[in-house]
Structure 1
Amino acid sequence: MVGIGSVNDVPRTRVCHVAAREEISQLREALLVANTVMAENRTQMMAMALMFDLMADVNPEFVEMWWVERPNINPNRIPEEQAELERKTERRSLELRDDLDF
């Protein structure tokens, strides 16, 4: 018989969707934890950068070396760079959703 599907296909489909939802939920929790850790690390890195700023104020030999490295610690992206990063992130998120068939 030709049709959309049989009654027997429904439970398997539901199990598949439940498993996918659980995986997405776990990924969201992991992302939340990762974002928290990154925020804490960013705060600590900025505190360290401020400490090095103070050291550079009193040590002229250290100033040049520090100001070469300082921009690499917490780069301030221009709006175009930030927009490109957000586009890449959205594109990757869509790819992941497609892989999960959502």
Structure 2
Amino acid sequence: MFLRPFVCLINTHSTLWTFLLLCPALAQLLCLGPITILEQRPLAFACKCSIEKVRSVIAGLSAEDISAALQSRGHLEIIFNLCNEVYRFDAEQVAAIRSDFCP
């Protein structure tokens, strides 16, 4: 009974705060007190992936993992799950990155 509206709200991409506004009893149960909307903004997606983060990930990989990836695919591929951005590096690029981080 109670979970059905919650599941419907989650499935329609509503936020937990929207749900709590619609169900003040739950807010009281969670000891949140009355909820007041201070500001409304449109939702926006912004992934924080960057080439520098990818470079640090490569620097942290073991030589065995890098070697296995290069042998099986011919390149090292890193995919950010949040935005699905794909970064591919060949053996020379990986060696250059590793030498920058691990002299």
TM range (shorter): under 0.3
Give the TM-score, by structure 1 length. 0.23
Whose strand proportion is higher, 1 or 2? Answer: 2
- TM norm structure 2: 0.23
Higher relative contact order structure (alpha carbons within 8 Å, sequence separation ≥ 6) = 1
